[in-house]
Amino acid sequence: MRILAAFDIEKAYGDRRILRGADLEVSTGDRVGLVGVNGSGKSTLLRILSGQESPDHGSVTLDGRLALLDQEPDLPGDTVGEAADAALGWHAELLDSWQAALDAGDMNAAARLQGRLDVVGWERGHEVDAMLDRVVAPPRDALLANLSGGERRRVALAAALLAQPDVLLLDEPTNHLDAETIDWLQGWLASYPGAVLLVTHDRYLLEAVADRIVEVEDGQTVAYEGSYADYLLARAEREAQLQRSEDRRLSMIAREAEWASRSPAARTTKQKGRLQRLEALRDQPGLKRQQAFSLDLSTGLKTGRSVLELVQATKGYGKPLFDKLDLNLQAGERLGVLGPNGAGKSTLLRILGGEEALDRGSVHKAPRFKVAVLDQHRSGLVDNDTVEEAAGGGSDHVLVGDKPIHVAGFLARFLFPRQMLTQRVSTLSGGERARLLLARLLLQGCNLLLLDEPTNDLDLQTLRVLEEALLSFDGAAVVVTHDRAFLDRVCTRVLAFHGDGTVQTYADRQQAARAIAEVHARQLAAATDDKSEVKDAHQARKQAQRQDRLSFAEKKELDKLPARIEALEEELAEVEQALSDPTLWSDRPDEAPALSARATALPAEIEALYERWEALAERA
Instruction: Say what the pLDDT of residue 291 is.
Output: 58
| CA–CA separation, 85 and 158 (whole Å) | 10
Provide mean pLDDT across the span 588-606: 77
Q: In sequence order, what are the residues at sequence separation of 6 or more whose Cβ sits closer than 8 angstroms to the Cβ of residue 560?
A: none
Which H helix or E strand runs over 206?
helix 203-209
Is 586 a residue whose pLDDT tops 80? no
**What is the chain's mean pLDDT, rounded?**
83
| CA–CA separation, 607 and 486 (whole Å) | 70
Cβ pair 153, 80 in contact under 8 A? no
Is 264 a residue whose pLDDT tops 60? no
DSSP string, 12-48: EETTEEEEEEEEEEEETT-EEEEE--TTSSHHHHHHH
- 8-state DSSP, 84: H
What ranges in 320-376 are assigned the alpha helix state H? 345-352
Instruction: Say what the pLDDT of residue 615 is.
Output: 79
Instruction: Say what the pLDDT of residue 545 is.
Output: 46
End-to-end CA distance of the chain: 43
Instruction: Say what the pLDDT of residue 166 is.
Output: 92
Cβ pair 350, 361 in contact under 8 A? no
Is 145 a residue whose pLDDT tops 80? yes
| CA–CA separation, 102 and 552 (whole Å) | 14
Is 546 a residue whose pLDDT tops 50? no
Is the Cα torsion angle 494, 176, 43, 49 positive or negative in sign?
Answer: positive
Cβ pair 212, 35 in contact under 8 A? no
Q: In sequence order, what are the residues at sequence separation of 6 or more whose Cβ sits closer than 8 angstroms to the Cβ of residue 48?
A: 6, 9, 11, 19, 54, 55, 60
Is 476 a residue whose pLDDT tops 80? yes
Of 197-206, 315-324, 444-453, give the range with the top mean pLDDT: 197-206
Provide mean pLDDT across the span 247-253: 71
For the question of whether the overall pTM of this predicted structure is more than 0.85, the answer is no
pLDDT band at 408 (very low <50, low <70, confident <90, very high): confident
Instruction: Say what the pLDDT of residue 587 is.
Output: 72
Instruction: Say what the pLDDT of residue 334 is.
Output: 93
Is 462 a residue whose pLDDT tops 50? yes
Buried b (16+ CB within 10 A) or exposed e, 93-122: ebbebbeebbeeeeeeebeebbeebeeeee
Is 292 a residue whose pLDDT tops 80? no
Cβ pair 487, 495 in contact under 8 A? no
Is 282 a residue whose pLDDT tops 80? no
Instruction: Say what the pLDDT of residue 440 is.
Output: 84
Distance of CA 446 to the CA centre of its chain: 33
Higher pLDDT, 149 or 257: 149
Percent of the chain residues past pLDDT 90, beyond the cut: 29
Q: In Å, how far are 32, 434, 442 from 379, measured between CA atoms?
A: 32, 10, 16
pLDDT 10s digits, 36-80: 888 889 999 999 999 999 999 999 999 989 999 998 899 999 999
pLDDT band at 363 (very low <50, low <70, confident <90, very high): very high
Provide mean pLDDT across the span 120-124: 75
pLDDT band at 303 (very low <50, low <70, confident <90, very high): low
Instruction: Say what the pLDDT of residue 103 is.
Output: 82
| CA–CA separation, 177 and 157 (whole Å) | 10
pLDDT 10s digits, 196-232: 999 998 999 999 999 999 999 888 999 999 988 888 8
pLDDT 10s digits, 85-119: 898 888 888 888 888 888 888 888 888 888 877 77
| CA–CA separation, 216 and 223 (whole Å) | 9
Q: How many CB atoms lie within 10 A of CB 341?
A: 16
| CA–CA separation, 392 and 197 (whole Å) | 38
- Identity of the residue numbered 36: G
Higher pLDDT, 439 or 313: 313
| CA–CA separation, 380 and 523 (whole Å) | 41
DSSP-assigned beta bridge partners for residue 497: 503
Is 23 a residue whose pLDDT tops 90? yes
Provide mean pLDDT across the span 354-375: 89
Is 301 a residue whose pLDDT tops 70? no
Domains and CATH numbers, the chain: 306-507 (3.40.50.300), 552-619 (1.10.287)
Provide mean pLDDT across the span 385-397: 86
Candidates 367, 327, 332; CA nearest to 349 is: 327
| CA–CA separation, 347 and 369 (whole Å) | 20
